[in-house]
Amino acid sequence: MEKVVVLCLLLVELSSSFTQETQIYFKEGNSLTLYLRPFPSKSITSILWMCNVDCCESMYYYIATATLDIHTGRLMIKNMTKADEGVYSVEINNKVQGETYKAVMIKHVPKPEVRVSPLTARGPCKLTCEGDTTGAGPVTYSWKTGDGEWKELQKDIIEEVHGHVKTFTCRMKNPLSEEESHARTILFVPGKSADSGLWIKVLGAVIKSLAIFAPLGAMVYALSRNQETLRKRMCPCQSKNSDYVNEA
């Protein structure tokens, strides 16, 4: 039986109950390759790749940009553009396959920069992996301290290391590219710790206590001196006798 190969891009609607969609990404001007998954167990007698565009409008366009491998069913489209976005499906031997591909055009990520924003005068700092990711699709962020290992974190991180100098590097990554920033060295100025705050409170309480009790002690001392002077004036003889005894 002669093998029939059809390459046509046609608007079709597939039921979500029996399809499994895989999202794939491409950069403008690059190629996109689609595979048969799973590969059919029977020999291929006909292949029909479909996309959400009208067949009549796209047939002549894709005949110059698309290449079909009749043995593996692999489809490669060159010079992809925004117009080539959409859901691609394939029909093998007059049977629609369950696997579909959603093609999305994205840009490469830019080279990021570590931006520092102090949250307080002497507190933690917010570090941001800065860069315009418009049109870059899903972007993940990773951070590295010094010569340590990369850790996948958020775009913004909070750091608080008092009295230390640390070097930070961030990395942006999407399904097509990744870029790494220059290392940024940051000096963390020591702030007020919880222990120092406690000592300041204790010292303040002591000073307040001294301010209250010091005048009271002075008053008691003055009264005792006045009582001693008054006693000597009232009992001069006793004072003389005491002096005589002391002289003996």
Sequence length of the chain is 248
Kindly tell me if the per-residue pLDDT of 158 is higher than 80: yes
pLDDT digit string (tens) for 1-26? 444 444 444 434 444 445 688 999 99
Kindly tell me if the per-residue pLDDT of 113 is higher than 60: yes
DSSP helix, strand, coil percent of the chain (3-state; round to 5): 25, 30, 40
Higher pLDDT, 65 or 210: 65
Of the candidates 102, 94, 89, 92, the one whose C-alpha atom is nearest the C-alpha of residue 14 is: 89
Cis peptide before 38 (omega within 30 of 0): yes
Per-residue pLDDT band at 163 (split at 50, 70, 90): low
Per-residue pLDDT band at 195 (split at 50, 70, 90): very low
Helical segments of 9-146, H only: 55-65
Rounded to the nearest 10°, the torsion over CA 19, 23, 27, 30 is -40
CA angle 146, 148, 153 (to 5 degrees): 95
pLDDT digit string (tens) for 64-81? 688 888 888 889 999 999
pLDDT digit string (tens) for 123-137? 678 899 999 999 999
